[in-house]
Amino acid sequence: MKITVEEDRCVGAGQCVLAAAEVFDQREEDGIVVLLDADPSDELAARVRDAAIRCPAMAITVAE
């Protein structure tokens, strides 16, 4: 899987961190998404897809 995040869209809600903290973090200064791992292992796939669905600003795209 290949993940992309759009910082401009991100509203810092933190949903992605709740869904998959191994893959997503938030910048200290402004809470904007930080992608820790753009190509995570298969066992994280379901939680990454969940993060993309939860994101209120549709800032996460997942390509299989």
Partner 1 sequence: MTGTEPISGTQPLARSCPFDPPPEYRTLREQDPIAEVTLPDGLPGVLVTRYADIRTVLADPRFSSQRRTVRIGAAEPLDAPVPPPAPGMFIMMDAPEHTRFRRLLTGQFTVRRMQQLAPAVERIVAAQLDAMAVATGPVDLVEAFALPIPSLVICELLGVPYADREEFQRGSAMMLKVDGDPEESRRAQLEMREFMHRLVLAKRAEPGDDILSGLVRSGELSDEELVGVGVLLLVAGHETTANMIALGTMCLLRNPEQVAALRADPSLLDGAVEELLRYLSVIQFGIRRTAREDLELNGHRIKAGTTVVAAIPSGNRDAEQFPDGADELNVERPYSPHVAFGHGIHQCLGQQLARVEMKAALSALFDRFPTLRLAVPVEEVPMRDGMVVYGVHELPVTW
Tell me which residues touch partner 1 (CB under 8 A). Answer: 11-15, 17-18, 21, 26-32, 50, 53-54, 56-58
CB of 37 to partner 1, least distance (A): 17
Alpha-carbon span 52 to 29, nearest angstrom: 23
CB of 19 to partner 1, least distance (A): 9
Alpha-carbon span 39 to 37, nearest angstrom: 6
Nearer to partner 1, 21 or 38 (CB): 21
